[in-house]
A and B are shown apart, each in its own frame.
Chain A
């Protein structure tokens, strides 16, 4: 294991190696001289600095020993340290005091120096107390090249330093390693993959002098180089694909990883590499690429736990950045200084928070369901042009639709006049006072005299209002809910949430007129419209702020208990200043309700938003009207309920589409008789015996006896047994497996029409039956002849009949229609096999879900597969019939239990059991109105008629107290202060002060603004809003040209949204315009704000150049200025560690005073300085090391060497290192011929043990869906890294967990590694394909011509051994392998079944020509080869 060294190591080093020659001062006498830095300072640090060190707060006696001034200060007649005179040195006096009371360290300190340690200090003082500053803080000075006796050995200057040290110690280097060993080492170190036999042979045959250099050049030019180097960098940067804290949700930042790989490959100089990652966004004219680079400091874990305090976690992220940046670039552990001044290093808390201030200005926000912000879109090359094109066209269309246009305005006026005339007299509404009312969770409801109802008392967090209405004998054409502001509500608003808002999440209306049931049926509401439709936010992630439509609150299925499942925040709401004004919504039932004296209507208003508590309606009034005009205005083409008939099964989707099932004969006869029933089978299908005609599993069953059914042309066969009733459209995931039903013989089935009360326009309806057709029909009542736009989504194909005439058809695409039958070879078979292995210990492969499809989650986006077209409706009743065809997707794609969540997702879905169907009908014509437009028209007219400004009406709400008012018939136009009164002109003076519309929730203040729409920031006055509504309506709905443009705009915007959703996102740094004030936090707690502090660098290091900006860019430039004592040293040390296992400074993550001093200080400085001189050329540095004589040494250990220098600190031999986790897996894939090399891109999900994610998943996490395609064979660098459940096999080989910056991984040898290599199906699959390679590849036999079988075995084994270890086996090894092969053959010859099972592991299929037993035997041998210690090492 690699760990920082302590004193024990020092002892070893001193004992075995002797003190470093360079740093130690000349000795006194024959006593070994004591080095301050190596020996004394660590002791002082351990025993003294706690009270006499850098920490100002803890300092005792004003004595500071860590600085030269303090250490040699005079104290009275004595000195703290008197060089050469321990007796006169206070330090020594107190350390050696006889009186325990006076002796230091105090007796109560747990740590007491040993006698030997005390003696070291005494000796140092006696020898003159030579003081040295900490080497790491002193800038390197070019050391002279040491002269060495064996100069011929030196290939690179760096070798001179190594050799000189060896000569000093009387050691000789090992001879040069063989070419195969060196090439293996270099290939793995530079590219992470072993050399191929061909590469080895080529190199072996290369007699040129620069053969080694040529190999290095080849390796450095390979794109694998960048991947290998990126691997190290990802550990430092704590890269992961999830957010890490609660629920460990996914994030997208792989674009940054792609950037890192690319940067290494194009050999971006390290100074530039640093600047772009720390501050790419601050570079002048920063490119997208440079912004992507800043993801480096966004890789920390983020928390989205509800109830967090923003500042708290934000400051935790800043601290993470400080610690990561200082560790990665400076090897300094600033973490300690977070809470107090450093005990040992000369770093103060001010230093820390000065550094902190550089990283404190990010526009970040985490309580977000998307990527933690800031995050930017990085379009793929194919996406960018289309996006630009879309934007241009959208901007153009918008400009056209919004431009000033007097002609259009004139036409609009004419339309307004016509429309007003058509609206006629205002609707008379009758207030209904509830016969009973109750809030379920204890909020109190009070009846006021004006017929309104006030919500009082303590508001429940969530509540449902239940109203019992007894309207008496009447016809109810529509209901109205008015929401009224009230002085008692917060902000005098409409709702009781802290900001005066309400969110009506669900609304249920039930009618018990003809039912005495406890649970009377829901009234089907055809439409519900409010007088104000505020736009739903484009960004649904800011879910606690967006208003929804009243339509979204309507429920068609009863809401249980507390309105479960609807709590996410959607629902009707009114935002901004409008939340202080009265508003209303009109509900229109499917048919006019006729009530009588005993009728009871039950209305339930659910307020169950989790986004905002107590978002209850504050005051409301209910009224009804019998005036049918409102129905006509709002529903010029009124749709009735759907009826559905099906499924009619067929061979495939195409057959279902083309076959005219019996029902189609009836289409001409109108109106359709919905009482009619039809045989299920296609005409003529009975002719074929079922055995020859395998259908999807659902339909396989015993043939049904022929039966004549009325109007059926042919006898049915192959019926699907009763799954009664045939149509259960809104099926939940939990369906009985179809196969079960199929086993029971059942009578042939007749299909009948089913009325679908649960289908709503715009919402997907589920239909069962793959490769089958459905017929659905509905009536549409149009007030006049008109066109209407239809939108159909979901089915693979459809046909439409209007009033008996076929008018439109879309055939299924051939891809969907064909080749989806069972019994076919290929994918389907495998899938079935998988199904047959329920105990298979791996995650099921599922169709990929888009983790970031939030628009779909909120039902906001329309599917791009939607088909739209126009039809002409005649006046009065129209009859629509649609034939819907669903294709049968193979069952292997079927969802696991987790798939249920997807049920809510709209859009087309083809499942094994049918599909979904979404429909919308939009009437067109100049009589199309919405309640919002109608309201605007009336108010606008009123205002024109009566232009007295009335502030009360439209501006800052000053609603009348909830007393007085009238009950009984209630005419809208007569309503005071609500809708009736004329509005104020939109003068600035009359406008209400822009109220703070959003409460300060836990969002970062600065961010609230950019997240709001422009409208919210500058709310329109009601008059402005009205005019906007009217103009928009006229131009996009009424005006025939505008209508077309608007439709195009909508389509383009949808395409844009869809495309944008697919564009990769990546987290970046973005600076606030106004820097956030930083403070020194007492004890490191974000709440203990101390002194203000600005950006600054630690005082012990060279100052920030005055010319540099005091921001991240300045900081980055300071780090790579070349004058920084740490940056280059830390970097070359880490690279050295990559090659030799340990750095020249063992504590690669800590260069502070307690770090281990470098074994070769001058070499370290030499490397650092030459790197800077080379222009931070990393490839050049790698090349030097790999070609050096030091690196080329043979790695064989001898007992003597082991004794002398067990860790190879003196570098008297080559490095023998275990492969990293990634190399182990990549090598196995490469050897097996499975490795898929492709650079960059999204993370991949190879096979992993079943349920590895399950135990760490919260409710919102998605389960692991592994990739079954070639992605599973990509390099490990790309394996999806979930912080809470990292990929097990990589973790077993010591991959870093990526919670925090990791500089050195541990190297362990554990039984878990053995188990992984032997048993993990991924490695078993590798062994299998490796075996195939050995058996099939011609190269395996080398140049031998027609070798005998025994010879063949030997050649193949040799080839396999060489693939794994890059060398040929020794005779003994070859013999053992032959024996193993014989044994394995014996096993599998005797057990064919076992051989078969073994070869079934993994997705990769063996060549069927291979003998199964032979392949299995070789798989056993291949597994052994993959497990060899030599395979796991580069030596």
Chain B
């Protein structure tokens, strides 16, 4: 049987589209992980109603997008088509990475002055500690690239892309705890249950590829400390289920149950699927329910996924030098593999690729632990940037490397010349952006000389979100969905587009 032949006629599909999503639903074409969007389908609000003034999911500037009127949330121009968000779970130590503070080295061991701290909230952990001695970076900073961007020596390979990097040194968030800060970063709100960043983008832009999910999440290394990732960081909240991030796991089964059971050969499975399709068709005729057609289609898609997903995640066909550049090993679960996979997904037009990397919560022993961590991260990210650049993908792919907050200027735990740690810091932090229309070689924002608080050009998480949406051609104030009688958006009730960050 030709599993690709849709059961429904085009007319019927169109009619279903007209009827809108609901119980019968195109919403139930809703293929959480893989979805196909007919051109006739309009992006819908939660209720299944077409979004106000949002006739077509025309990704701005997307090649081949039908000429359709823009949705209210769509801007005339988009510089980015997709995002690769590399999340360093635990909180990046900006003082060792992005924000050079010689004073902290000079005043090492001295108590953070009250005039600087100004009673700002610190976490309960170091509050108990009593003393707050400042400590400088164990890693010297250097100038990189033509722009002379100052970054620490830990950017061994990424430094070569300094002129593509947009460094924010004035990141601020609303909370000093992992759970809360991650919640703000990923959903714009402390309240649980809101849609995540990737879900919003999947919802607004749809897919460039009919056979892959719009939003993919990959995890690595969360057993070595820090706050573990929670599905709420890629969950669809009250957006339709298909916008939930689809997690790809390492190993032989990247998506749960994607492999045939043992003892079921492809021909045996084909025979089951063929008869199942025929039986379901009869049921569709009997019950008159168009929903049955959706189910038949979902089985066809499932069968395709069983080959396409393992193919996509099989790195063994990548050339050896590419594998070497990333430090990737086919078949293994690693951050390097995920970076390479991110490129493969970006190539195939996945909108939002979220890499969750654990182990960045460096309360102790930064000189050793952060160095080790950066050795594992720097090379694959640099390889990813190189790869994207060579394939001209960096032009419209935005790469973000960030944590949920920064780390304190003062030391947490034992301090010696060989070892010190830093606690969570919500007032200041740093991150990197590259590609997708962001300005390269730029350092944005400034903190005081103790590296404690932002003194110039603060960037709130909502500003970052607004700016990224802007680059994707989306107006963060207009991209809303109504739930329980209220319109919600990613940036809650705040957020400013930071045009200086954009080229």
Contact = CB atoms under 8 A, between A and B. Distances in A.
Nearest to A1218: B291
Given A1312-B33, A1394-B268, A1429-B280, A4 B483 contact: yes
A1238 to B, nearest CB: 28
A1396 B262 CA distance: 9
Given A306-B125, A1308-B27, A1373 B177 contact: no
Given A1195-B287, A1311-B298, A1314-B302, A1398 B485 contact: no
A516 B476 CA distance: 71
- Considering residues A2, A307, A460, A1147, which has the most beta carbons from chain B within 10 angstroms of its beta carbon? A307
Nearest to B218: A1255
Contact of A498 (B34, B47, B130): B130
A441 B415 contact: yes
A1299 B232 contact: yes
Contact of A1384 (B46, B268, B282): B268
A1377 to B, nearest CB: 7
Interface string B297-331: 01101100110000000000000000000000000
A345 B485 contact: yes
B28 A3 contact: no
Nearest to B259: A1319
- Residue among B225, B306, B478, B485 with the most chain A CB within 10 A? B485
B25 interface: yes
A9 interface: yes
Given A4-B484, A1309-B30, A1315-B305, A307 B263 contact: no
B29 interface: yes
A1284 B231 CA distance: 6
B38 interface: no
A1313 B295 CA distance: 9
Interface in A1274-1315: 1283-1286, 1288-1289, 1292, 1294, 1297, 1299-1300, 1306-1315
Most interface-central of A3, A1195, A1307, A1377 (chain B CB within 10 A): A3
A839 B252 CA distance: 9
Nearest to A1254: B223
Interface residues of B, number: 114
B177 A307 contact: yes
Most buried by B among A612, A1201, A1257: A1257
A307 B125 contact: yes
Contacts of A527: none
Given A839-B252, A841-B253, A1384-B268, A1294 B287 contact: no
Interface stretch (A244-252, A500-508, A780-788, A862-870): A244-252
A1139 B129 CA distance: 58
A1377 B267 CA distance: 17
A1257 B242 contact: no
B179 A305 contact: yes
A1249 B257 contact: yes
B271 interface: yes
B242 A1308 contact: yes
Interface stretch (B15-23, B164-172, B347-355, B397-405): B15-23
Interface string B168-188: 000000001111000000000
A145 interface: no
Interface string A603-615: 0000000001110
A1398 B269 CA distance: 12
Nearest to B224: A1259
A1300 B192 contact: yes
A45 B219 CA distance: 43
A802 B219 CA distance: 60
A1400 interface: yes
Contacts of A1308: 27-28, 30-32, 240-242
Contacts of B68: none
Given A246-B227, A1307-B23, A1319 B258 contact: yes
Contact of A1427 (B23, B276, B288): B276
A1259 B414 contact: no
A377 to B, nearest CB: 29
B266 to A, nearest CB: 10
A1001 interface: yes
Given A1-B30, A498-B128, A1256-B228, A1309 B294 contact: yes
Contacts of B296: 1429
B14 interface: no
Contacts of B32: 1292, 1308, 1310, 1312
Interface in A305-333: 305-309, 333
A1324 B263 CA distance: 11
Given A3-B48, A308-B177, A1384-B271, A1255 B130 contact: no
Contacts of B228: 246-248, 1255-1258, 1261, 1284
A1006 interface: no
A309 B123 CA distance: 8
B486 interface: yes
A62 interface: no
Interface in A549-574: 562
Nearest to B221: A1255
B23 A1397 contact: no
Contact of A1206 (B24, B50, B257): B24
A562 B268 contact: no
Given A4-B47, A1401-B263, A1420 B271 contact: yes
Interface in A830-849: 839, 841
Nearest to B247: A1255
B264 interface: yes
Contact of B416 (A442, A1216, A1257): A442
Interface stretch (A427-435, A686-694, A1148-1156): A1148-1156
Contacts of B269: 1318
A461 B128 CA distance: 9
Contacts of B423: 307
Contact of B49 (A7, A1319, A1376): A7
Contacts of A289: none
B229 A1255 contact: yes
A284 to B, nearest CB: 36
A1150 B484 contact: yes
Nearest to A1379: B275
A1209 to B, nearest CB: 10
B207 to A, nearest CB: 14
B289 A1216 contact: yes
A1380 B273 CA distance: 10
B241 to A, nearest CB: 5
Nearest to B227: A246
A1399 interface: yes
Contacts of A1394: 263-265, 268
Given A246-B227, A1255-B219, A1256-B222, A1155 B257 contact: no
A354 interface: no
A1387 B271 contact: yes
Contacts of A5: 47-49
Given A1198-B288, A1398-B264, A1207 B257 contact: no
B283 interface: yes
B485 A1311 contact: no
Nearest to A1260: B228
A498 B124 CA distance: 14
Contact of A458 (B124, B133, B261): B133
Contact of B485 (A344, A1256, A1373, A1379): A344
A458 B289 contact: no
Given A441-B414, A1314-B298, A1397-B262, A1424 B227 contact: no
11 contacts: A1-B21, A1-B241, A3-B238, A4-B47, A1147-B484, A1150-B484, A1216-B289, A1251-B249, A1309-B31, A1373-B282, A1420-B272
The 8 tightest CB contacts between A and B, nearest first, are A1398-B263, A8-B49, A1397-B263, A307-B123, A1-B27, A1154-B485, A1197-B288, A1314-B302
Given A839-B252, A1372-B282, 12 more contacts: A4-B47, A6-B47, A246-B228, A247-B227, A344-B486, A1207-B24, A1255-B228, A1297-B232, A1309-B295, A1393-B263, A1423-B272, A1424-B279
